[in-house]
Amino acid sequence: MLRISLFGPPNRRIQPERYVQLGLKFFKLKKSIDKIIKIQYIVRYKEIIVENVVLYFSGTGNSLKVAKDISKELKNCEIVSMARPFNFVKQYDSIGFVYPTYFWGLPKKVIEFVENVNLGNNKNAYYYSITTYGGSAGNAIYQLYELLLNKHGVKLNYGQKLKMFSNYVITYDMSEKINEITKSSNEKLIPIINSIKMKKNNSLNKLTKMFKFINNDFIKKVSDMDKDFTVNNDCTGCGICEKVCPVKNIEMDDNKPQYKHHCEQCVACIQFCHKSQ
């Protein structure tokens, strides 16, 4: 009788239980391979995620608005206030600085932030800045360029100024053309953001001695400039001024704001006061 064995000749047959063992080994091997592939995918995925950060200082919201617009376009972008210390744990593809022009130069808080921040593990990032201004941007861009270079050895690759409506109501009234100015600044911001996305470089105007002198004098005096601030009987004690002050210079005492003499002259307290409208 002719017999056909599925397991080969008698002396070469593989017992059925052996197939089970081989199947289990193959299954374990496949799981290991799948795990390796998954790990490689995660590593590669993390490598292609490019992270960016926009550092901003803002009292009344102009520079914050610009920072938010940049963040929307760059994707994977953090927005961090320069009003408080920031620890650069991550390595970023681009690092931006957005701030207002105060007395033709940098705000004191921005200077302090840049001087004290640690950029050691971000030497190869793309650095850019936008200064918002109402009258003149003065030295606000080149001042940051020198500060980054001298303190951290990094180059400011790109810097631009953006005219927005002036709101330093201590010395003048708000413009009646706010809507027109806002529309114009929004339009001018578009090509600036496109240049940042393409990582363009540009040349920066050097410091003007007169502007440097004025800003240095402002930095020396600004902290105590709140000593002349007064609050009249219209104050309702709502505490909005305390909440919006970016440098925590205001405390409410007996439902009245008290100024602690580390003012930045951002005038957020006045701009957001519902009784000053």
Domain parsing of the chain, residue ranges: 13-48, 52-218, 219-271
Q: What are phi and psi of 108, to 5 degrees?
A: -60, -40
* Cα–Cα distance, 173 to 178 (Å, whole number): 12
Cα separation, 154 vs 128, in Å, equals 11
Among the listed ranges 59-63, 135-139, 189-193, 206-210, which one has the minimum average pLDDT value?
Answer: 206-210
pLDDT in tens, 211-229: 888 888 888 888 888 888 8
Topology at the third CATH level for domain 219-271: Alpha-Beta Plaits (3.30.70)
Per-residue pLDDT, 15: 58
Find the mean pLDDT for residues 26-54.
61
For the cut 50, the answer to whether the pLDDT of residue 52 exceeds it is: yes
Average pLDDT along the chain: 84
CATH 3.40.30.10 fits 52-218, yes or no: no
Residue with the larger pLDDT of the pair 35 and 182: 182
In angstroms, the CA 55 to CA 44 distance is 28
DSSP bridge partners of 158: 128
Segment 57-66 mean pLDDT = 92
Asked, colleague to colleague, whether 52-218 and 219-271 share their fold, the answer is no
pLDDT for the residue 57: 95
Query: DSSP character for 254?
Result: T
pTM: 0.78
Of 56 and 43, which is predicted with more confidence? 56
Task: Spell out where 140-217 has E strands.
Answer: 158-163
Residue 233 has pLDDT above 80, yes or no: yes
**Those residues with Cβ within 8 angstroms of residue 68's Cβ, 6 or more apart along the chain or in another chain:** 79
Tell me the pLDDT band of 42, cut-offs 50, 70 and 90: very low
Whether residue 125 has pLDDT greater than 90 = yes
Integer CA distances (angstroms), 149 to 93, 119, 236, in order: 18, 11, 47
**Residue 43 host element (H or E):** helix 16-48
Specify the pLDDT at position 173: 72
Cα separation, 277 vs 274, in Å, equals 6
Measure Cα distances from 123 to 3, 127, 154, 155 in Å: 78, 9, 6, 9
Identify which has the larger pLDDT, 117 or 35: 117
